[in-house]
Amino acid sequence: MERIWLKNYPPGVPHDIDTEQYKSLTDLMERAFREHSDNPFSVCMNRWMSYKQLDELSTALGAWLQNKGLEPGSRVAIMLPNLPQFAVTMAAILRAGYTCVNVNPLYTPRELEHQLKDSGASAIVILENFAATLQEVVERTAVQHVVLASIGDLLGPINGRWLTFAVRHLAKMVPPFELPLSNGRTVTSFKKAIAQGRILNLRPTTQTMDDIAFLQYTGGTTGLSKGAVLTHRNVVAAMLQAEGWFSPALADVPDLRKVNNVAALPLYHIFALTLCLLAIRQGSYLTLVPNPRDFAKFIEVLKQRPFHVLPGVNTLFNALMQHPMFKTIDFSSLKLTQAGGMAASEGTAHNWQKATGSAMIEGWGMSETCAIGTNNPVTQKTFSGNIGLPLPSIDIAIKDDDGNSLPVGSSGEICIRGPNVMTGYYNQPAENAKTFTEDGFMRTGDIGIMDEGGFTRIVDRKKDMIIVSGFNVFPSELENLISTCPGVVECAAVGIPDAMQGETIKVFVVRNDPMLTEEAVSRFCQDKLTGYKRPKYIEFRDELPKSNVGKILRRDLRSAK
């Protein structure tokens, strides 16, 4: 196929990337640890970690995991916020020859149980704040080894102990828990696992680019999240693609090791994860923001030192600008404002550029594409409203339902092919057969139009996915759950526009108990769903619109909202 978009690549951006320069993602990391040993890797609450420390700590934790007898390729879950323990754990799992399973720390027991069962995770590294959730489900999973981290583990002997004490006893952010030790299960503190691992040897592993590096869970049309299988090649490709694409923005930075990347988006999310790994390749450093919703503290962090790369979602940028202290931030070092995870709004982008002098660069991608699939040129001076051009080595085709490529200017399903695209969904052969076309493209479910310059604009979604602040919510999951609420006959969930979150959730309910209230349904959802999946609006109806075969017509509900 003709790659018409290449003519609009900025100067210096490669047309293709070469993944064969590495044996694996682990090989890339270990080279970076050697080359950047003395450089800072991250700073969190004013506590710095060097690449040498990341190397040593991940070696120790990796050796500890191997000593537990996990088989090569075993899945190890990570349930951590943006703390130094995240990168240590991720590197340890990969270096030990295992597969990372990223878990949202805010998951409810039901959601956590599904992901642990589906992935077959045999170990988990989890912040103690969320151990009560694990307690409820761990005996119904394959998890045999639990590593319990505390917030201050890697934040210094004095400040770290104080922070852990404050979180446990003053803020009371660690609910009581007692993890069962039945069936040989072990529970070990993060610090103890590191100490024990230091006297062990990390055995070398034979990994290839085709081994699985991550199971990155995403929503699915079946209502339950599916694990996108991301190989070492997929992840390395995504890093190299992002590096090539971002290079013009950082061209006048004399030493990339001095680049400060703000990590406010959660590292368990594919967007932030890929940018974290790119920082490792380049030897630059991350400013870790454990709780970006505390905007006063977030702004104080931004004021502490110059920052160069600020990835975010539309809601984050919008909320920052609403804060009264926003104008005290110095944006003179900012080279790249990268928007992703959800559609960026023109109003937010305009206000951001006016306030900071930095254009908001919008991209598009999925967990299945290992973050960025298309992006606007970083040299662009104004917001475009489209999702940009395919990154190096990526092909985008607009196809009809039969898999035929459509001409420029036609609307159809956006399909993507490239070394960054997942190999499939974990243990989902039927879903994989529907997802990939005969010529190797992955169907994305988004409807778009590509113009003569290769720029693509999303016009609709083929699937009914709702995107709340960059997170995928599938109506069928909500409908399946809410239908179990006493008094509910049937229901339908739709996304409606929201200025702050992009979309918010509205649920239409048919009830057979006239005493059932909106408050009761809301409480039911509160107990069963993580925050971003909870409906904001609940409306009772006598009946729901349906097709002649009885399928609920969500599009009619959206148009009638």
Q: Following DSSP, what letter does each residue of 353-374 receive, concatenated? A: HHHHS--EEEEEEEGGGTEEEE
CATH of 4-16+227-461, one of 3.40.50.2300, 3.30.360.10, 3.40.50.12780, 3.20.20.70: 3.40.50.12780
Secondary structure string (H, E, C) spanning 254-288: CCHHHCEEEECCCCCCHHHHHHHHHHHHHCCEEEE
Tokens (6 digits) for 171: 């803020």
Parallel, antiparallel or unpaired: strands 260-263 and 285-288 = parallel
| pLDDT reading at 561 higher than 70 | no
| pLDDT reading at 442 higher than 60 | yes
Q: Which residues pair with 147 in a beta bridge?
A: 125, 188
- Rounded Cα gap, residues 289 and 46, in angstroms: 11
Has domain 25-207 been given CATH number 3.40.50.980? Answer: yes
Residues 6+ apart with CB under 8 A from 134: 79, 112, 124, 126, 143, 146, 177, 179
Residue type, 382: T
Q: Answer yes or no: same fold for 4-16+227-461 and 25-207.
A: yes
- Rounded Cα gap, residues 441 and 428, in angstroms: 17
| pLDDT reading at 343 higher than 90 | no
User: What backbone torsions phi and psi does residue 8 show, to the nearest 5 degrees?
Assistant: -105, 10
- Position 322 scores a pLDDT of 87
Instruction: Tell me the pLDDT band of 223, cut-offs 50, 70 and 90.
Output: low
Parallel, antiparallel or unpaired: strands 395-399 and 389-390 = unpaired
Tokens (6 digits) for 353: 């550029």
- Rounded Cα gap, residues 532 and 224, in angstroms: 15
pLDDT digit string, tens, across residues 5-61:
999 999 999 999 999 999 999 999 999 999 999 999 999 999 999 999 999 999 999
Domain residue extents for the chain: 4-16+227-461, 25-207, 466-560
Number of H-type helices and E-type strands within the chain: 16, 26
| pLDDT reading at 221 higher than 50 | no
**3-state DSSP helix/strand/coil % of the chain, to nearest 5:** 35, 25, 40
Residue type, 404: N
Q: Could you tell me where the DSSP H helices lie in 106-182?
A: 109-119, 131-137, 159-165
- Rounded Cα gap, residues 474 and 464, in angstroms: 7
Give the CATH number of domain 466-560. 3.30.300.30
- Rounded Cα gap, residues 475 and 104, in angstroms: 19
Element (H, E) at 188: strand 186-189
Q: What percent of the chain has pLDDT over 70?
A: 97
pLDDT digit string, tens, across residues 117-175:
999 999 999 999 999 999 999 999 999 999 999 999 999 999 999 999 999 999 999 99
